[in-house]
Amino acid sequence: MTNICCSNLSKSYQGIQSLVATSLCLKQGSVTGLLGPNGAGKSTLIKCILGLVQADSGSVDIPAHVRIGYLPELAQLPPSVTAWQTIRLALQLSNKFSDKTAPSLLLDRVRLAEKHWHKPLRSFSKGMRQRVALAYAIAGDPQWLILDEPMSGLDVMGRKQFLEILLELNKQGIGMLVCSHIVTDLVRLCERVLLIHQGSIVDEINITEHSMSEAEALESRLMQTAEYSHE
């Protein structure tokens, strides 16, 4: 099994609590969304799972064989190199560069047009750079993808295409934890959404129809939580 589980994670920064006894379990192949206002603790939770930040207390249980790909909100890719060179490096770092065609296969997998493969990243739009960053994240053949605001800054068409790519990757067996402020994107992509507020998971919403009505209900639940906290 490749489940990822967290138990009673707590984390504070300079006396300000970012996570409060937070627990969750991500089941193999599932897609879970994290939704909450700014400062709710979403990014801190992700960083604790990845080991980028050490929790003050609690535990993260990830089986030793599990491979995780990470797509941060602002992926820092070298602007002077090409998309093909970037993915070749990712494959080399993952010990996956056994075939010279491998970078091309990954770039094709994220639907980056071939005419852009050998252009420097500085010439790319935000959506194109995001596709390269996603190809980088999956270069190590991960069982899990953790994505922090993956559609942030993309236009409507870019978001639609990126969501389609993520749905295809999930059909291929990759599980996902997705943090986003865009409710409609989470509803289209996820099986459940965890509502996080003031460092705690306050609700779990199952998504069954991936419909606009579910998105409206989820947004209403988020607003209720925010209003309650300000009473």
Each residue of 221-231: pLDDT tens digit? 888 876 655 44
Which string of DSSP letters, residue by residue, matches the chain? ---EEEEEEEEEETTEEEEEEEEEEE-TT-EEEEE--TTSSHHHHHHHHHTSS--SEEEEE--TT--EEEE-SS----TTSBHHHHHHHHHHHTT---STTHHHHHHHHTT--GGGTTSBGGG--HHHHHHHHHHHHTTT--SEEEEESTTTT--HHHHHHHHHHHHHHHHTT-EEEEE-S-HHHHHHH-SEEEEEETTEEEEEEE-SS--HHHHHHHHHHHHHHHHHHT-
Written as tens digits, the pLDDT of the chain (231 aa) is 789 999 999 999 988 889 999 999 999 999 999 998 888 899 999 999 999 999 999 999 999 899 999 999 888 899 999 999 999 999 988 877 666 668 999 999 999 999 999 999 999 998 899 999 999 999 999 999 999 999 888 888 888 999 999 999 999 999 999 999 889 999 999 999 999 999 999 999 999 999 999 999 989 888 887 665 544
pLDDT in tens, 152-181: 888 888 889 999 999 999 999 999 999 998
